[in-house]
Amino acid sequence: NAGVTQTPKFQVLKTGQSMTLQCAQDMNHEYMSWYRQDPGMGLRLIHYSVGAGITDQGEVPNGYNVSRSTTEDFPLRLLSAAPSQTSVYFCASSQLDRQGNNYGYTFGSGTRLTVV
């Protein structure tokens, strides 16, 4: 019963490098999302997906790409890392009812990313 698994837990990148943050859930949830957490700003939505093959932008999508080839996985790609992307990243998943309302979010344990 793993829930939402994020890897890696910590990462240091140099400016301009690319990398992928992994997120996997084993609850067969339709909805998955990526948030970033910065001091004093709460969590802000980067990208989300309502099912395999469907993704959309959130509040702060620039500099990030996502794809959803399976229900279980929702990786987040940083194309060319910048110091402004230093943050803690959380992946979350939830189940939707027929009206599109969710029953609550399950969060991963987070990835602390530092870009130098």
Partner 1 sequence: AQKVTQAQTEISVVEKEDVTLDCVYETRDTTYYLFWYKQPPSGELVFLIRRNSFDEQNEISGRYSWNFQKSTSSFNFTITASQVVDSAVYFCALSAQGGYNKLIFGAGTRLAVHP
Among 18, 20, 109, 114, binds partner 1 (CB under 8 A): 109
Please tell me the distance from the alpha carbon of residue 41 to that of residue 50, in angstroms, as a whole number: 25
Contact present, 112 and 88 (Cβ < 8 Å): yes
Nearer to partner 1, 78 or 92 (CB): 92
The span of 18-26, 45-53, 63-71, 72-80 binding partner 1 (CB under 8 A) equals 45-53
- Residue 71 tokens read as 């229900």
Among 19, 45, 52, 82, binds partner 1 (CB under 8 A): 45
Which residue pairs, CB below 8 angstroms and at least 24 apart, start in 64-68?
A: 64/34, 66/34, 68/32
What pairing do the DSSP bridges indicate for beta strands 54-57 and 4-7?
unpaired
Q: Does residue number 107 form part of the binding site for partner 1 (CB under 8 A)?
A: yes
Q: Does residue number 41 form part of the binding site for partner 1 (CB under 8 A)?
A: yes
Q: List residues bridging with 4 in a β-sheet.
A: 25
User: For binding to partner 1 (CB under 8 A), which residues are involved?
Assistant: 31, 33, 35, 40-45, 48, 50, 56, 58, 88, 90, 92, 94, 96, 99-107, 109-110, 112
